[in-house]
Amino acid sequence: MKAAVDKKGLLSMVPMSESKINAMEKAGEFPKRFAMTGRTVAWNRDEVEAWLDKWQEENTGKKPDHCPDVRQRKYRPVQAGAA
């Protein structure tokens, strides 16, 4: 039997914002949702977990894009040995 996860469950599984998940889904980079009822959507738990495994494998050890090199800043220089 396949398990489904609703939006609240999805957001607890995937540590990303709802807008980021929606954008990735629209770009084909995230599993597609399906309609449970006329107003309720869900995702296949197995597909989401497989996506998480793949994402983790591809991004383990990578430095986040938003972390600047603090040693290059002009104000509040980093003390020796701190960074």
Does residue 16 form part of some domain?
A: yes
Does residue 75 form part of some domain?
A: no
CATH number of residue 20's parent domain: 1.10.238
Say how many domains are in the chain: 1
pLDDT of 83 strictly over 80: no
User: Mean pLDDT, to the nearest integer, of 7-36?
Assistant: 96
Distances (CA, A) of 71 to 61, 63, 75, 81: 21, 16, 10, 11
According to the model, what pLDDT value does residue 82 have?
58
Question: pTM above 0.85?
Answer: no
Does residue 69 form part of some domain?
A: no
Does residue 15 form part of some domain?
A: yes
According to the model, what pLDDT value does residue 2 have?
85
**Domain that includes residue 41, residue range:** 4-57
Residues 6+ apart with CB under 8 A from 33: 25, 41, 42, 43
Does residue 38 form part of some domain?
A: yes
Does residue 73 form part of some domain?
A: no
pLDDT tens for 31-77 read 999 999 999 999 999 999 999 999 999 888 877 777 777 777 778 77
According to the model, what pLDDT value does residue 34 have?
95
